[in-house]
């Protein structure tokens, strides 16, 4: 894999209960909404489940993601192709944390920050 090793952990406050955060991070239709402009494969199940592999697209760059673990308060995705590494999510009442490590040509910290801000905006709009 070409690129540089990058790692980033970001935790932000989000005015949303734990269950709403879980749904936003594990229900495929909600993921597709707030992850835009990232595109997900068509035909995904309603909810992520361990072992599921799908592809997301950042413009022309494909990122293959496999759900490694899914727990009541966490999610771990193994990444390949455009990013070789992993993405972990943790959440609770009023907060979410994202930890991303991998080798990529993409600016992972910038993309991670932007996605967390889109998640916050999505949740604030869906509660208004």
CATH number of residue 102's parent domain: 3.30.530
Q: Is residue 7 part of a domain?
A: no
- pLDDT-based confidence at residue 125 (cuts at 50, 70, 90): confident
Task: List Cβ neighbours of 94 (8 Å cut-off, separation of 6 or more).
Answer: 13, 14, 15, 16, 17
Q: What pLDDT is attached to residue 13?
A: 96
Per-residue pLDDT tens for 11-27? 999 999 999 999 999 99
The DSSP H or E segment spanning 21 is helix 18-26
Residue 28 lies in a domain: yes
Rg (CA), the chain: 14
pLDDT attached to residue 112:
92
Number of structural domains in the chain: 1
Domain containing residue 25: 16-126
Is 11 a member of any domain? no
Query: pTM of the prediction?
Result: 0.93
| 26 domain residue, yes or no | yes
pLDDT in tens, 34-68: 998 889 998 999 999 999 999 999 889 999 999 99
């Amino acid at each position: 894999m070409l690129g540089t090793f990058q790692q980033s952990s970001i935790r932000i406050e989000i005015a949303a209960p734990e269950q709403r955060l879980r749904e936003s991070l594990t229900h495929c239709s909600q993921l597709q909404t707030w992850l835009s402009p990232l595109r997900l494969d068509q035909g995904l199940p309603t909810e992520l489940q361990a072992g599921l592999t799908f592809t997301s697209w950042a413009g022309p760059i494909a990122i293959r993601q496999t759900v490694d673990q899914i727990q009541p308060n966490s999610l771990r995705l193994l990444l390949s192709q455009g990013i070789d590494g992993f993405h972990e999510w943790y959440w609770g009442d009023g907060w979410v944390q994202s930890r991303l490590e991998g080798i990529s040509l993409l600016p992972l910290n910038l993309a991670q920050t932007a996605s967390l801000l889109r998640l916050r905006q999505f949740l604030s709009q869906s509660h208004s």
